[in-house]
Chain A
Amino acid sequence: MRALDVKGFIGLEEAIELIRSEFEGRPDELIPMLQRVQNAIGYLPEEALLEIARATRLPAARIFGVVTFYAQFRLRPVGKYIIRVCRGTACHVSGSALILQDIQNHLQVAPGQTTKDGLFTLETVACFGSCALAPVVVVNDSVYGLMDSLKTRKLIEEIREKHGAIVARAGVEKGDRNGLRIFEG
């Protein structure tokens, strides 16, 4: 398996500071602002949306409208590892529906949900554009090609194991979302 690719997130106050310092507040900056916050925190909390509303002088309802329109935006926190199953055409004919079903059974979550231990979030993506290696599963930013149900289960278990080891070594409590920044080379 490749090196673990763990997302480190910052706190809400810092994210709000980002909105103030990096943007002018023009309406066309709305989507980039949302993307910036989600990248930094992992999702879009209500406070951040209200801050963006203040910064852009747009009604909060309009911001909510934009957030719910685009598939990329999330209103709930995510797990440390976002497992995205590609549902593109090539992946579909190569059996990605079976992989998705198997992960759902295995992790007991539906697409869009996070496991109880806060480790995995399951998502689907319309197409990653890595069709030549279908079916494709992406964990955070690492792309895994030519997958099947068994390989995907193995991948998930390896991540769980490695993560456990890293947490033990770093002495960081589980669930400490804001503090954990792990990059293993």
Chain B
Amino acid sequence: MDYASLKARAKECWKELEEFPEPLVQIGMGTCGKAAGAERVLATIEQTLKGINPLGRIMHVGCIGLCYLEPLMAIRKGGEPFIYYGNLTPEKTEKILSDYLLYDDPIPKWAVCTLGNGHAQGNGAIDGVPQFHELPMIRPQVRIALRNCGLIDPENIDHYIARGGYSGLQKALNMEPDAVIQEIKASGLRGRGGAGFPTGMKWEFARKAPGSIKYVVCNADEGDPGAFMDRSLLESDPHAVLEGMLICAYAIGAREGYVYARAEYPLAIRRLRVAMKQMEENGLLGKHVMGSDFSFHIKIKEGAGAFVCGEETALIASIEGNRGMPRSRPPFPANSGLWGKPTNINNVETLGNVSAILERGAKWYTGYGTEKSKGTKTFSLAGKIARTGLIEVPMGIHLREIIDDIGGGVPRGKEFKGVQTGGPSGGCIPSSLKDLPVDYESLAQAGSIMGSGGMVVMDNDTCMVDMARYFLTFTQSESCGKCMPCRLGTKQMLDIIEDVCAGHGKPEDIELLRGLSETVQKGSLCGLGQTAPNPVQTTLRYFGKEYEAHTIDKKCAAGVCKALFHYAIVADKCTGCMVCARKCPVNAITGEKKKPHIINQDDCTKCGTCYHACKFGAIAIC
């Protein structure tokens, strides 16, 4: 089928959906939605809707990014806009469906927002309910890579095509490959995996490399703990990524490609398989893509749980069936990659941007971002933040806008302490740098990195020494062991930090840690080791006082390092309500009703249950 007929069919399908007169219920069925209980909600919707209106339709969508409201559904009936409801339970869902569909009461106090104008009556506003784009969480965002996430059925290729999908590929196929590379270069797109290497330049290297067999690899090995952007994008809009892969393959002259995806993401892998099958059925994958001379085949390789495989040369080794160990570069994969052939490796989000850039042009793309960091960046906002979610913001946005406006600040009256970006390769940025613009250069200057987009917010319950220990534990266990600085250096660093956390630290340990950090950074073979000291270095730089408190005063003010604090009950504040005593899993709290309780320090395991259970702030960290 040629593109024009594909497009016509897709438009027809989309129009049918837009004009569908009966109730339409969308439910977010990404991994996050399911974890929050979307399956039970779906069962309720199925049952309730059947009773109310058997002609009603249920549509599974991906992640719209409002993760803190999962499970989330949107209802539309008879030309009205979609109304979104969050934090659903089966009971709540049933009431919303029956009240709105039967009695026309949308229950505004439960509604999150409305989306779309509806096609029957004017502006589609519902009193007291904001529009989607007006939500504080959404307003500062610009969705390019996530353009379709949560709005389309990821398993329906027509939805993707109807919203402009594959027009970028069609445009590319009518251009010279070099012109496609020029377009990507002009867009200023840089690798979204974290390092930020210019994508167009990378493609050019692969194109110019001699050889007739070349490969494209999509790096979907999102190993950074605290990051889920790539998973969400693959689950919610797999075609956007696959289209980017095709464009890349055409540009560099590859006929075969691989998606290297984490085995921990079964739903993303399933969605990719469904998408690829649909592409084949529609002449978008295989021989003569869209009737052209360009042919392309994709295989999916499941990773097996090794963080280092996110590194290009280790990833290649893993696809070839070996231990995923990196090798020294040069030669770069662009010249000698998979099976020694020129190989171009791009991250999921990078490819998601590629399809949009070809569709709408480099000039449009450069309208967003800063001089050196063009376009947008997705982040997974998590940790101690009121509104966790999947977000996409223009480069150069200030950290403050992300934390306060989009994320709604730190919940439960706690104090914002810092934010961790870039996972184990990144750093902890303190609250004093809240006005830092988020782009590759500024983050690097602050000692962190852009990374793939994990953003974990921390409050004053987070111990920064423990944070450094956490990341070192991770990098140390993920170190492949090939080069000495990383294998032994991270181990030594971890030993020192564990001593500090256990109360055996000495002030001179800190200097030792600094020196070791530099050695590991400079001497390691690949990115894993070179960046492993970042969390230690940034916490030393910005939170040096906590290290001093741990080594000199032997105190952990955040109440995390168990050897360095204990819980005690503040007699003045304790109302004697017995809640802590009841909840204590080891029965370490004794006391009578209406009289201050006592924690038996010998039995206490410092699990923190009482600290979080007390409503009166009567449990103190000493």
Residues of A within 8 A of B (CB): 2, 26-32, 34-35, 65-66, 69-73, 87-95, 98, 101-102, 125-134, 136, 141, 143-146, 149-150
Say whether B228 faces chain A, with CB atoms less than 8 Å apart.
Answer: yes
Q: Name 8 A/B residue pairs within 8 A (Cβ), A-sorted.
A: A27-B321, A28-B320, A32-B302, A69-B323, A93-B384, A127-B223, A129-B380, A131-B456
5 smallest CB-CB distances across A and B, nearest first, come from A132-B67, A89-B226, A71-B305, A70-B304, A88-B225
CA distance in complex: A154, B605 (Å)? 20
Question: Within the assembled complex, what's the spacing in Å between the Cα atoms of A2 and B90?
Answer: 12
Most chain B beta-carbon neighbours within 10 Å: one of A28, A69, A145, A146: A69
Q: Is B306 an interface residue (CB 8 A)?
A: yes
* B residues at A contact (CB < 8 Å): 31-32, 34-37, 39-40, 67-68, 70, 222-228, 231-232, 262-266, 301-307, 318-325, 380-384, 388-390, 420, 423, 454, 456, 458, 461-462, 467, 470-471, 474, 478, 480, 583, 585, 605, 607-609
Checking A31, A102, A125 against B607 with a beta-carbon cut-off of 8 angstroms, the contacting residue is A102
Residues of B within 8 A of A136 (CB): 35
CB distance from A73 to the nearest CB of B (A): 7
CB pair A89–B420 under 8 Å, yes or no, is: yes
Given the contacts A127-B224, A144-B35, A149-B607, A31 and B383 also touching, CB distance less than 8 Å: no
The 8 Å CB contact of B304, one of A73, A101, A125, A133, is A73
Residues of chain A contacted by B320 (CB below 8 angstroms): 27-28
- Residues of A with C-beta under 8 A to B470: 89, 92
Given contacts A32-B302, A127-B224, A143-B31, contact A89 B383 (CB under 8 A): yes
Q: Is the CB of B454 within 8 A of A150?
A: no
The number of A-B residue pairs with CB atoms under 8 Å apart is 159
In angstroms, Cα B307 to Cα A149, docked, is 28
Nearest neighbor of B31 in chain A, beta-carbon distance? A130
Known: A35-B302, A134-B383, A145-B36. A129 touches B318 (CB 8 A): no
CA distance A149 to B458 in the complex (A): 21
Among A66, A87, A128, A131, residue most surrounded by chain B Cβ atoms (within 10 Å): A131
Contact A125:B322 (CB < 8 A) given known A136-B35, A150-B583: no
Q: How far is the CA of A134 from the CA of B231 in the complex (A)?
A: 16
Asked if B305 contacts A72 (CB within 8 A), the reply is yes
User: Which residue on A lies nearest to B458, using beta carbons?
Assistant: A93
B140 to chain A, nearest CB (A): 18
Cα of A95 to Cα of B474 in the assembled complex, Å: 16
Q: Find chain B residues with CB under 8 A from A102 CB.
A: 585, 607
B461 contacts which chain A residues (CB < 8 A)? 93
Return B513 CB to nearest CB of chain A, in Å.
20
- Identity of the chain B residue whose Cβ is nearest the Cβ of A39 in the assembled complex: B263
A35 and B302 CA atoms in complex are apart in Å by 9
Please judge, given known A-B contacts A66-B321, A129-B227, whether A143 and B35 are in contact too, CB under 8 Å: yes
A143–B306 touching, CB < 8 Å: no
The answer to whether B306 and A71 touch across the interface, beta carbons within 8 angstroms, is: yes
